[in-house]
Each structure stands twice: as C-alpha cells, then as structure tokens.
Amino acid sequence: MSRFSADISQHIWDTKYRLRQGDAAVDATIDDTWRRVATALAAVEASDEAAWATRFQSALQNFRFLPGGRILAGAGAARRVTLFNCFVMGTLEDSMDGIFDGLKEGAVTMQQGGGVGYDFSTLRPRNTPAHATGTIASGPVSFMRIWDSMCATLLSTGARRGAMMATLRCDHPDIEEFVDAKHTPGALTHFNLSVLVSDAFMEAVEEDREWALVFPAAQLDDETPGELVPRRWSGGTKTVQCRVLRRVRARALWERIMRANYDYAEPGILFVDRINAENNLYYREHICATNPCGEIPLPPYGACDLGSINLTGFVREAFESNAHLDLDALRATAETATRMLDNVIDASRFPLPAQQAQARGSRRIGLGITGLGDALIMLGLHYDSDPARATAAQVMELICHTAYRTSVQLAREKGAFPFYERDAYLSATFVRRLPQDILDGIAAHGIRNSHLTAIAPTGTISLLANNVSSGLEPVFDFTHRRRLLERDGGYADHQLTDYALRRWQELRGDAPLPTAFVDARALPPRAHLDMQSALQPFVDSAISKTINVPEGFPFDAFQDLYREAYRRGLKGCTTFRPNAVTGAVLEAGAAPAAVHCCSIERETD
C-alpha cells in the first residue's frame, strides 16, 4: 500500500488527482487512484486485461512510476478531458481568420486540460503593410497578448492553470520586441518565451558578423525593398525566398537576449537546428515549437505523453557504504511504464481531430526520471561529481535502451507506429547511436513509438511522491515554505522537508549530514550544465533543466553558459537568476505576478 509521509503530498493528491463527483470523493485512498489509472490503461489491451491492470498498479504503487498529471487526474474518470499534458498547436496562418482560428483551437485545448505551444514566426512583422485590407500589421507580440488574455479568461472560469509557450525565430524582424516583451512585470504572464536559435546565428555571433532579419517575400507587399535570401521558414516544408528587412550585429542581438534572460529570466533558448537534426522523424517533420516547459519539441498538433520513474524508489541500503540502485527493478519498471504510456495514446480523448491523428500517427511518448537529486544523496554521491554524473548517465541509458527494446516488442505484438518508414527511421541520427540489437529489432519488426524519452520538470508529481527532488534537478532547498494554489482558488503556505533529509532523520536522527547533502544554491552553475550534458545522449526528445545562477553571477560568465550549452550539443538552455521582475522560484508571501517557466505554477503537471 502506498503511503504519504509528507502533508504536502496528501494535499497535492486531494486537490489535483483525487477523483471526485461534485463534492464527494470517489478515490478514498491514493491506492484507489492507482487502481483507477491502471484499470483504465489496461482496458485498451486486446487480452490479459486483468493481468496488465495488476502489473500497471504495481508499477504505480509507492510512487515508483509517476505518469503525467493529466493521466493521474483523467484516466478512468469518464470525463471529457485529454490525458495528454500539453500540445504544440497548428501553424498560425498570417491572416485574421487564421489567427483567430488558432486562438480558438488553443482555447478548446486548454479548456480540456492541455498546455499549448505556438510558433509566432509566421506572423508578419510590425508596421508591414497589408494592401489587401489597407491595414498595417501589428506584429506577433501584439497577438500574443490576445492569447494571454484568453488564458486569463479561461482561468477565471475555474479551468486549471494555463501554460503556454511562445517561440520566435532569431531572424524574425520583431525578434527584439519579443526578447523585451516581459521586461514589464505582469506582461504575458501565462507565456514562457523561447528564441529559436539557428546554427547560422551562433556562427554569426562567434564571428561578430551582421545578421539579416527577414520574412517570406510572398507574404510581403511586392514593393517592399530589400535583398532576397533563401530560408526554410516556420510552417513550411521547402526553402522559400525571404526579404531582408534590416540587419543587426549578431553579437548585439545575442547580448540583448542574454541581458533579458539575466535580468528577468526570459526568453530561453532553443537550438532549433539541433532539435531538427536529432529528430527521429526528420523525414516528415520540421519542428519549430515545444511544449510549455521545453522537454518535448513537437510538430504542429503534436502532443506530450509523459511519465517519470522515481529513482528514490530503487535505492537500496540508503546512506550505507553499500548503497546501490536496484537496476533489475528499474529495468522492469521501465518496461511496464513504456507499455502504459503507449496505452495512453489509445485511452485518451483529444481536443482536436488533428491532435489525435498526429499522436496516433507517431505514438510519441516521453519516459523520464525524477528524484535524481535525492537518489544521489541516498547513494552518498555529491551532485557535482564524476561518480554522480556517471551514475545518472547509467540510469538514463538503461531507461532509454529498455524503452526502445520494449517498443520493438510492442511493434511485434501490436504493429509499428503508422508514420514509420523503415530505412528513413533507421537513418535517424539518434537511432543510429542505439545498440546493434535494438537496430536489428527495428529492422526486423519496426518500432511502436517514434520517440521514447524526455525529462520533464515534474514539480507537481514530485511533490505528490512525498516531495522528492524534481526531474534531474538537485534538491532546491532541504526545508522551505511554499505557497500553493488551493481547491478554492486561493493560496496557502506549506512547510516542506526534502525526502532525502526526512529519510536521513528517520534513520540517523540529528547526526551530521554527509557532504552529499547539497542544494542547488550551493552548486556552481556549471554543475547543472554538466548533469544535463551527461543525460542528453540518452534523451531523444529534450530535457527541461533550470540552471540556477546566483544573483551576483557575472554577466559574461552567464553568457558563456549558453555558448557552452551549444558547444556541448544540448537542444536548449534555461537559466534562473533571482531578479526584481520574477523574484525567486520558491518564496513565501504573495503569489508572484510573473512566474518562472519551470516552476509548479507554470508546468502542466
């Protein structure tokens, strides 16, 4: 039987995941929640439904496997909701009808429980004429404010918290306005912002060259002056001629992006060419947006099907000299979790038919980890050490390869994903790095899921799991107060004690803490980058990671973190430095007007 050892965990379950009918609770205990979810996901099996339900429930018990929040809340609830945490929406057409069709689709998706991501690069830059209507374009940022208002309106109706991601290309003429958009407290508070940074831009920054800001010529007035250059633009499948509207110094634009991030934590950076080069479905997709926290780059109408393995549940002999991970149990859980997430695709409703077609065509899932920071402490490993990084990489490699092997077996049993093309898939950059037995299995039988791994921020489900450290993050703080939303829409403070510290105190009382007990603020920023780099080779989607930066960290060193992230082959980078606009990630007092992208107030569970 699963047990709550932290009051905050029972609160999270009761307010977010416990099934209710009106005011009456249907789930009497957390085990009833596990049973409901397991039964619902096993119902799509063609045979042995009861046996799979038992196996699924076993994986969920004691918080060993934590499906995404929408799965926990919605599976078996007989409600018109989606089990997918988040979506990337369709390409925005640069017309008033197209823009408001996109707004409507986003509203419908968010109403049913999904966060949304949009690339606004397809919208004409500010002050360009539209002679067909005799008007002047107001630019992408102006329309983002309409989305922000829509999200706020939905929240006022009692819908769950909204989360949105907005991306813009680094060569869009309105990129500077986008970068500065959240300079004012309270602006675009329901959005996370990320710049789509290309390899060409990074080269221009290094060489201190001029950088062309462009837009597709076919969407501009024929008389608009400017040189033409080829670009593969957002929302398109082919290279098109784009008109150069102006030029800036690449390094000046880069420093403007970095200064905004340093001063008010956004926008983040997505290395979009690397995302596309590493995409297993490179042969049919061009990605230019992600889910709200960035761990799943997705094509138009793509969806997030997420779950995380709680590593603290696999530590044996915690704090002893022979502390170790039970890798056999971890492997078995990864096998079961892969099948569960695959079943979510068939068990879920979808807000839009296009989302269903995309999800069932690719059958993308994102299996990841949580509790890494606490697990390392329980193993006696300092987060910023080679043994810790080696252990984390070993774990992620095991999960990745187990998921791929399981997906091959699922393809033998149930068929490959519909978008599968054998030779093209086997030529994908990430796939080519897999062990030979997996490649042979894919060649012979196909594979059930196009993508299998992602590491999400997991803030809420980690609180549910007795307040383990979230995702691959170190422990933020061992004891602190946190202000959380209540069922009535108000806020209340909760006292939190980290899971590893609580376990230590249960076993050793007031004995001095070992050196492995290190929190995020005691780590150099480079330690965060090192851990993300250690795991990225085994993640076929992406990683949501916040690099904590002290307030007094030098700006030049801050910029170097992003350049180093690019040099190391990461798909994106997010930092957080306490500042006057967004405050701190976790703090007592009134709920902040602007909230960091990977905090519990903004992630989609």
Q: Catalytic site residues? A: 291, 293, 295
Q: Tell me how far apart the alpha carbons of residues 113 and 358 are, in angstroms, rounded to a whole number.
A: 18
| DSSP β-bridge partners for residue 303 | 87
User: What DSSP character marks residue 217?
Assistant: G
Q: Tell me how far apart the alpha carbons of residues 409 and 416 are, in angstroms, rounded to a whole number.
A: 10
Q: Tell me how far apart the alpha carbons of residues 504 and 62 are, in angstroms, rounded to a whole number.
A: 18
- 3-class DSSP string for 33-83: HHHHHHHHHHCCCCCCHHHHHHHHHHHHHHHCEEECHHHHHHCCCCCCCEC
Q: Tell me how far apart the alpha carbons of residues 573 and 263 are, in angstroms, rounded to a whole number.
A: 16
Q: Tell me how far apart the alpha carbons of residues 419 and 471 are, in angstroms, rounded to a whole number.
A: 30
Determine the longest span between alpha carbons in the chain, in angstroms: 77
Beta pairing class for 191-197 and 164-169: parallel
Beta pairing class for 491-497 and 479-485: antiparallel
Checking phi first, is residue 211 left (phi over 0); if not, alpha (psi -120 to 50) or beta? beta
Which three-class secondary structure state does DSSP give residue 479?
Answer: strand
Q: Tell me how far apart the alpha carbons of residues 148 and 162 are, in angstroms, rounded to a whole number.
A: 9
> Within 10 Å of residue 605's Cβ, how many Cβ atoms?
27
What is the chain's Cα-based Rg? 23
First-to-final CA distance of the chain = 24
Buried/exposed code over 265-291 (b: 16+ C-beta within 10 A; e: otherwise): bbbbbbbbbbbbebbbbbeebbbbbbb
Which three-class secondary structure state does DSSP give residue 129?
Answer: strand
∠ CA 475-4-378, rounded to 5°: 35
Token pair of 191 as six digits: 């959005």
Beta-strand ranges (E) seen in 99-209 are 115-119, 129-130, 135-136, 164-169, 191-197
Residues 6+ positions from 55 with CB-CB distance below 8 Å: 336
Question: In sequence order, what DSSP letters do the residues of 512-555 get, joined into one string?
Answer: PPPTT--BGGGS-HHHHHHHHHHHGGG-SS-B--EEE--TT--H
Q: Tell me how far apart the alpha carbons of residues 318 and 325 are, in angstroms, rounded to a whole number.
A: 9
Question: If you count them, how many residues does the chain have?
Answer: 605
Q: Phi first, then psi: give them for residue 101, nearest 5 degrees.
A: -65, -40
User: What DSSP character marks residue 448?
Assistant: S
Element (H, E) at 245: strand 239-249
**Of 372, 325, 326, the residue nearest 534 (C-alpha):** 372
